[in-house]
Structure 1
Amino acid sequence: MEVTNSENQQLNMQEKLEKVIFTRTEVEVCCPIKDVLARFGDKWSIYTILTLGNQEKLRFNELKSSIASVSQRMLTVTLRSLEEDGLVSRAVYPEIPPRVEYALTPLGKSLLLQLLQLADWAKLNSNQILEARERYGKKAQSAV
């Protein structure tokens, strides 16, 4: 029996799902995945990673002006969280006034590659998603 490429991809996906979901207890599965996604899955973290990915290094105010409508406090919290997780490095130069630069670490760059794949998927499927939202909206309105 010949296996098609599509069937092979489906089998590989099923194997990955089984490794993630079925080889651990429910607590072990949910917590690490949920914890990691919660830490960098918010919009400011994603925008910060994408912005730093576009530049080698940026100072705080350069980052703030590049990310529309982020507050100073929110950017500070986001950068601290990303630094804590090892995704962003912070370099302080002993000058007057002090110069601080932020950059993606190798781990942050590996996450950037995944975010770019997600962005490609979103761009490729945006019309289908918008159409599905429209159908859902019409269905919800007719049910009321």
Structure 2
Amino acid sequence: MVSEPLASSDGEPSVVLLHATEEDLAAIEPWFDDPDTLKYLGAFTTVRAPGARRYIAWNPNRERVAFIMTTPAEAAGKVLYNQVAVGYTVTVNHRSKGYGAATVRALINHPDTQDVKIFEAGIHAGNEGSIKVVEQSGFGLSSLTYKFRR
């Protein structure tokens, strides 16, 4: 069950980050029907990525407020466990209330990620809310990726 979260000293909502269970994944699947989630994160199938670690952020009212996952980076065919890609979504009812940044910070401080040296979040340029979340969480812009699409 969910333990009581610690109060945030900076006024940010507090969350407890727990490993996502199959019950959690079933409960959040409808979140991926939201047009913004589909646009920026993709379909629910993305949460089943091989090697991903999946977490649910719970608020003090014991509500699921966010989903966040990491996948190890790869270079030259080798998995880099000290570098992860981060993807997340906040339920529509809890957006713009600080839960995104609280969830990202909880991930950075989670015992599972203490060996991780680099967290990367690939964010669509138009996703201003998500850009704000990672900037509030201490991320800095390191590069731009240009893509050609047919």
Same fold flag (TM > 0.5): no
TM-score (norm 2): 0.22
Output the TM-score relative to the length of structure 1.
0.22
Q: Greater strand share, 1 or 2? A: 2
